Amino acid sequence: MRAVLSRFVIAALMLPGIAFSQGAEEPPRVERYGTFVSALKGRTIEFPDFKLTYLGQPKQESGVPVVVHQYELEGASGKVVIQWASVGNIAPHHFCFGGNSYSLELLHSEKLGDLAPYEIVIWKLPEDRCKGRPDGNG
């Protein structure tokens, strides 16, 4: 009887902590550069230097079959919209943000291979391509 009562008391003392932890919101996950990340429309993804939100594909009014994907970057240096565009070539897109150089890969990664739909890879580039250049498409 005493063992049952002891377990009951321990369980009763733990319940408030369990209930509190269930309602607590997890801190946002910070993604690593050079890894596959799912970038669905409207989803904000946090990287070490900025937050990235996929805005979607704007309607193209030209007769040229261009695929364009827009992303908003937000960080200490403000907000900027970048675009990854292709007319068949699926090369990485280089951009500048906060004085640093990055590369955005969509559809195919030079190091990781083919990407699933809406999957991206962001690389922080070691070389300084952005010296004296504004944030945005590099």
Mean model confidence pLDDT for the chain: 80
The per-residue pLDDT for range 21-47, each reduced to its tens digit, is 455 566 778 999 999 999 999 999 999
What are the pLDDT digits (tens) for 96-112?
Answer: 998 889 999 998 999 99
pLDDT of 134 higher than 60:
yes
* Amino acid code (one letter) for 45: I
One DSSP character per residue, 28-85 reads PPBPPTTS-EE--BT-EEE-SS-EEEEEE-PPP-SSS--EEEEEEEEETTEEEEEEEE
- pLDDT band (50, 70, 90) for residue 66: confident
Q: Are residues 75 and 90 in contact, defined by beta-carbon separation less than 8 angstroms?
A: no
Neighbours of 127 (CB within 10 A): 6
Inform me whether the pLDDT recorded for 15 exceeds 60.
Answer: no
The per-residue pLDDT for 3 is 47
